[in-house]
Amino acid sequence: MIINKPPMGWNTWNTFGQNISEDLILKMADLIVQSGLKDVGYEYVVIDDCWALKERDEQGRLVPDPAKFPHGMKYLADKIHAKGLKLGMYSCSGLMTCAKYPSSLDREWVDAQSFAEWDIDYLKYDFCFKPANRRADELYRTMGLALRNSGKDILFSACNWGYEDTQKWIKTTGANMWRSTEDIFDNWPKIKEILLKQLDLLQSGGKGCFNDMDMLVVGMHGKGNVGLGGCTDKEYRTHFAAWCLLQSPLMIGCDLSKIDQTSMELLKNKKLIEINQDELAAQSYFVSLRHALVSNEKLGLVRPLANGDLAIGLFNLTDDKRQLFTSLYDYGIKRGSGMTLELENCFTGEITRPDNDVIWVDLEAHDCVVYRAKIVKA
Ligand code: GLA
């Protein structure tokens, strides 16, 4: 599988954990279509951990739990495909999955064959219970090879949390995305931690194999499997904006049958999604912030876009209101060039130009602003 844009979809884990079923998957798939999420690009419906029986069958094959998936996986894949969506599944490279179901260690070839026969489009591959004498890169290379030789084009989503210096070898596995941090929880400290960790990994990722900052918690409001505390709407906005700016895959994790309007609108923000999906897939970089004590909790991040625009995100991760300044010089627009930026606010649609070659914003605690900036004559 070759991909040039971060995958978008929905995954069972964040809200439903082990409480998954065919009915749930079909219901969420219908909601992805009816709500318009499909129209803005969300396409993968991913069944995470806890789908299998604890024992393999007599041929050594994984068996979907018939109490949860009474018609099996091929039936479900056909139903999902008929809705214009794609089906994802989950396995693990260690001795068991994280929730202690059977995993694919030394069964990679037979399992890849099952996924292909079931017409699965995406495999998330986890890292729990890895034997100490085995190397992560070898385990992920084996499954990557098995998937590419399974006869079906299957997106390979590696999930070893950045352990064993993943960024140094992940592209040897043929993976299409790799989890660059540990698990997300639905609270601000976790979102901030993941975002800050990601900043050391900006040179990895990009076309073919994107840095995966983990599934979205937007709209969870403290409910469900990883709903540990919940976030404010402003924090969800900052979370989604950061994931879009840094080109993370966008896998929704909330219950789509209970989602509030504000969260739904955020997840469908076309301007942010366009930035996330931009085909140049360039690396993001920092701009320095002026007139402020510089710390990594006040961030200016930029990414060049394919049509010549810049995506600019100014983030206040501190617990206080802050004013952030950046100079046009730092975006490559020098005084005397005759050029300036026309800034389109991706949340409000408002268009402004910098005053005196400076972009400045007042941001509440945990807030951000993202602009799509056009380079125009001053
Ligand atoms: C790990 C992964 C999570 C999820 C669970 C399932 O913790 O990082 O994303 O898949 O396992 O058990």
pLDDT at position 296: 65
pTM of the model: 0.97
CB atoms within 10 A of CB 366: 21
Angle among Cα 54, 58, 64 to the nearest 5 degrees reads 40
Listed as ranges, residues in the chain with pLDDT below 50 are 291-293
pLDDT at position 297: 83
pLDDT at position 99: 98
Sole residue written with tokens 């100079």? 327
Give a three-class secondary structure readout of 334-370.
CCCCCEEEEEEECCCCCEECCECCEEEEEECCCCEEE
Say yes or no: CB of residue 367 within 6 Å of ligand 1: no
260 as an active site residue: the answer is no
pLDDT at position 51: 98
Which one of the listed residues 30, 183, 233, 330 is annotated catalytic?
A: 183
Closest-lying ligand 1 atom to the alpha carbon of residue 184: 9
Instruction: Classify the C-alpha dihedral 223-227-232-234 as positive or negative.
Output: negative
126 as an active site residue: the answer is yes
Q: Which of 15, 16, 19, 49 to mutate to test the pocket of ligand 1 (most atoms within 8 A of CB)?
A: 49
pLDDT at position 176: 98
Residue pLDDT, tens place only, 259-310: 999 999 999 999 999 999 999 999 999 887 754 445 568 889 999 999 999 9
pLDDT at position 229: 96
